[in-house]
Amino acid sequence: MISQTRMIVQDSLDALLEDTAFLPGLEGEARKQAFTSLGAILSTPNHLHKSFLRVALENGSVVRIPAFRVQHNNALGPYKGGIRFHESVNEDEVINLASLMTLKNALHDVPYGGGKGGIVLDPRAYSEKELHLICKKYVQYFSDILGPDKDIPAPDMGSGEREMDWMMAEYKSIRPGQAYKGSFTGKSVINGGSLGRREATGKGVYFTFRYLLHDFLQKQREFLSNSESIFAKTALDYDNSESPLTIAVQGFGNVGSVAALEAYQCQHLQNKVVAVSDRNVTLFNADGLDIPSLIKFTSLHGGDLPTTELELAEANVKAAIQNRSDVLYLDVDVLFLAALEDQIHDTNKGKIKARIIVEGANAPVTSEADEYLSNKGVIVIPDILANAGGVIVSYLEWMQGRETQFYSEEEVYRLLLEKMKNTMDTILPAFFGDPHPLRQNCYIHSVMKLSTVLYRQGKLY
């Protein structure tokens, strides 16, 4: 995991070293030394905090649960990142996720650094009372390093607004009289959370795709037509298509279902969602699926899609029932990946037919598969660009907590999409102007911004 971060940072610095327009005040040996410093700083965390939470269970026994908080870099602002509740959490994973948060915040011009937390447990194995105590213990053990201007956790895999409410309440009790609303984000609305946060990531995921193939293309058609990039050809091929773009969505949770609904309702781009999947099944209809009906069904059935003809009839949805993994290999134009990591990898990359892939989940395409697909002209909109809606709305929640003034849902979405539009307008011209994949362009931009700030802060010597 750590080596992955080092590779990202080093590849980006290698691309920037010979660019004389970048940090022009650094030349010769001083430039080499500064870049060596940047490699060391950006590939390692500032702080690694770990402890064992002592928790008394309802059966009378006491357990010690490993817990982490990694603070990667705060050059741009307070550390920011979720707390993952999962039995596979480990030190390397948390370090890697914290470093990726630093890069994501830098890319989207969010004034945060990167952080990440983790608790090694299966939340389903504990009662609500025990989970409440675990959350309190986490804040107690790490209270000295947390705070609205220090390190601001949020939900992640296995945690949600309930856990953030509990943690904020404990922080408030430990720090009486101090500002506490911004100590955690992803809270319930009644506890100072932001409207629109649940839908934010899915809306942002679809927006990045729509903006690339509609808004940006409309404004920059001449530029793309003159570009020699294979990715420009892919975009223009779809622009010239007379039939609606076909979309498949892997994962139908908070991110995938919202992205699918955005596609279903989109008035700007002709597309149709022909397939969706979850942990049990893929549903396919070449004429397009009734996404609102599927969302209604999942809301009544524990989040699961219909898996039988009887359940399809109950949902009033027409679809063919297929294996859950089939969604990856369908002959569609666009594939949204909103499930788990490592879904497209070295052994199945050759079976992918989609020409545009959007990463709603974290790291669903491995680096080897990304390189293979990019060499074939497949546009992969990476997680660092596509799924930043959560942290952007977390920032809006943090601001609202500080100002004690709250935005309407419409205002939240407007600010979210405006922020993502600014990022796309910065990144896309560079992407279509050179042969690097979009992921590498995003990493280079993030490293460039962080390097400039660290240089100006005098951190390189």
**Which tokens go with 251?**
């994962």
Q: Which amino acid is at 34?
A: A
CA-angle at 122, arms to 116 and 126, nearest 5°: 115
334-337 sheet: strands from edge to edge: 320-322, 282-284, 271-277, 245-250, 334-337, 356-359, 379-381
Q: Which amino acid is at 293?
A: S
Q: Which amino acid is at 178?
A: Q
Residue 129 bears catalytic tag: no
Rounded CA Rg of the chain: 22
Catalytic residue chosen out of the listed positions 116, 272, 349, 419: 116
Residue 239 CA to its chain's centroid (Å): 27
Backbone angles phi, psi at 63, to 5 degrees: -120, 155
For the chain, helix, strand, coil in percent to 5 are 50, 15, 35
Quickly list H helices, 254-351: 254-265, 291-300, 309-315
> For 353, how many CA atoms within 13 A lie in the half-sphere containing its CB?
11
Which residues have a catalytic role annotated? 116
